[in-house]
Structure 1
């Protein structure tokens, strides 16, 4: 992985399909490490590639991310392979599961890299306990074994394409009823109960050597009085010390309601960094300005996204001409009836 000079902290959002003058100025600031793209930033392949190019023209070391899991969480659709939700792979026999999950991971990563995008914020390692639609079919399954098996295949495909992965939502979001976008969910289980269930996929994928992890905005009162993303007990004691995770910790969006009880945006940012987060997602322009002012005033620096940038990119025309790409896309289209 190349080593750059970026020691920024924030991953910020963009308003539309082109950079605004304000966004151009924000991206030039050293406190910004990169961007997270959404459906509102996508109009066509040509427009997306132009947008990415304009971001790179500001700074080449900015990390460009998107949620492109598949199913209901796929930001770029028209022109891209329509990926199935993660749980769909489990409907096939074991040989087909290998092909479907592995090739989907490879396809997803290959298409993003062909647009100059560095990272998909996934996969979800949550176990679907049938409690929350926020997880639901985004999970690879309802058992530890199925999540471990299918997630491992998907990750292998992503890695073969040359992209890093971000496993989420540590230590598992599937056992709560509430949606952390609109409230702070509580999980009353003991640490021993969590270890025997939701934590296992994270343990296995950390051993596999994943590059990054995203903590959940969930409170586990039996373990700590702070939500996971603000908890040194979780991020240092469990993640770093017990699970020996050496990659980057990327906060879930600090604009979510599950992150709001800590206070102002600077207070949230400070709490997340103090707990052990390396990069912070903030999708609120005023919040971004407030945190950048705090960073400027304190001299605070992050670790930057070094280690998450791919070694190289291809281009879309070359990808489309690849027999491997055509074969993989045809297989998924026939299996799931998507384009």
Structure 2
């Protein structure tokens, strides 16, 4: 049987419980995503990540850590990174003389973006985290509250060049990247966490604007997360459940060859497919068969969640049954893409990082 570990799940607390360990050992589980509730300080986070890797070295430890309002770890030495809009504003500012300490203009902005990527990646890696779901490639139309200042700019060319610079910083730290939310979440006002956004624009318009960064960045983007948004002029299904979007357009037309993560299957935008309410297992199968390599199920391990974590166990059992029934096929190529996201160079420990010349230079660009 082909080995494929597509599930990215979460844990409830600061340490691994007995139930967490059982779930993370399951062969269908390929990683976990951390949240602020899993953070106390650097010592605790480092110990947690070490414990996870002792359990299974191949598990991918992920986090949403972009900067601005989406940054899970903000204390005990972690640098407060700016929202990406700040870099876009720096790009648009009138360049200063090279002798000035003021950072402004496109070239300073790209340097600052690389610095942000390096600091972000190296601090996370020093604590044992493998991957951050960043950068946001959505365009800032000024309408979406859920995207807002997480986006670099409105112009896809500016977004692409700043994102490429940030990706360069991440790669310098030894961390992969994740462009999101394909083909673009910035145009719609609705939040897919609570609603099902619909973008009625044509494919031609979307490809020329919102999706353009994915073509321009296809040589440096290591993973992509599609949007839980419906684009009815292209497909009746949200992009993350659409073979048309993922295989025909993203991989075929735009030339992307990396890993594809679903966005969180617990979001409202993932729970209605073809007009029908679906279970987590049905959503996972739909995403995997459409072209996702991995699927996320978040915020279901908490005692306060529905069933106190039962949703994770039901998804693991449901996907096992679906595989046995032939409702989805394990993919060796997907597993190769998952493992390619694991860092392949040693990380600097925190104390060594603090005096590392590249890190100190990067901090000067962020200040």
* Structure 2 CA distance for aligned equivalents of residues 258 and 170 of structure 1: 14
What's the CA shift string for 1:188-221, capped at 9, x where partnerless? 0010111121011111111x33111000000001
Question: In the alignment, what sits opposite 1:132?
Answer: 144
* Structure 1 CA distance for aligned equivalents of residues 148 and 3 of structure 2: 36
Q: How many residues align?
A: 328
Q: Gaps (5+ residues) in structure 1?
A: 335-339
Question: In the alignment, what sits opposite 2:296?
Answer: 281
Please report how far the alpha carbon of residue 99 of structure 1 lies from its aligned counterpart in structure 2 after TM superposition. 2.1
Please report how far the alpha carbon of residue 331 of structure 1 lies from its aligned counterpart in structure 2 after TM superposition. 3.7
> Contact between 2:285 and 2:319, CA under 8 Å: does it hold in 1?
no
1:170-185 superposed matches below 5 A? 170-185=182-197
Range moving further from structure 2, 35-44 or 153-162: 153-162
What's the CA shift string for 1:7-65, capped at 9, x where partnerless? 21100011011111100110011010000001111110001001101111111110000
* 2:193 counterpart of 1:193: no
Match of 1:132, SS state, is: coil
Please report how far the alpha carbon of residue 105 of structure 1 lies from its aligned counterpart in structure 2 after TM superposition. 0.6
Match of 1:306, SS state, is: helix
Match of 1:250, SS state, is: strand
* Structure 1 CA distance for aligned equivalents of residues 54 and 318 of structure 2: 26
**After TM superposition, where is structure 1 displaced by more than 4 Å over at least 4 residues in a row?**
none
Question: In the alignment, what sits opposite 1:40?
Answer: 37
* Structure 2 CA distance for aligned equivalents of residues 293 and 98 of structure 1: 46
Question: In the alignment, what sits opposite 1:295?
Answer: 319
Question: In the alignment, what sits opposite 1:307?
Answer: 340
> Contact between 1:295 and 1:301, CA under 8 Å: does it hold in 2?
no
* Structure 1 CA distance for aligned equivalents of residues 154 and 229 of structure 2: 20
Question: In the alignment, what sits opposite 2:181?
Answer: 169
Question: In the alignment, what sits opposite 2:306?
Answer: none
Please report how far the alpha carbon of residue 113 of structure 1 lies from its aligned counterpart in structure 2 after TM superposition. 1.1
TM-score by length of 2: 0.86
> Contact between 2:3 and 2:330, CA under 8 Å: does it hold in 1?
no
Please report how far the alpha carbon of residue 167 of structure 1 lies from its aligned counterpart in structure 2 after TM superposition. 0.5
> Contact between 1:6 and 1:33, CA under 8 Å: does it hold in 2?
no
What's the CA shift string for 1:138-179, capped at 9, x where partnerless? 001111121122111111111111111110000000110100
* 2:257 counterpart of 1:260: no
How large is the Cα RMSD of the aligned pairs? 1.4
TM-score by length of 1: 0.93
Question: In the alignment, what sits opposite 2:216?
Answer: 204
> Contact between 2:230 and 2:236, CA under 8 Å: does it hold in 1?
yes
Question: In the alignment, what sits opposite 1:81?
Answer: 79
> Contact between 2:61 and 2:130, CA under 8 Å: does it hold in 1?
yes
Call closer, same or farther: CA 1:180–1:326 in 2, change over 3 Å: same
> Contact between 1:6 and 1:62, CA under 8 Å: does it hold in 2?
no
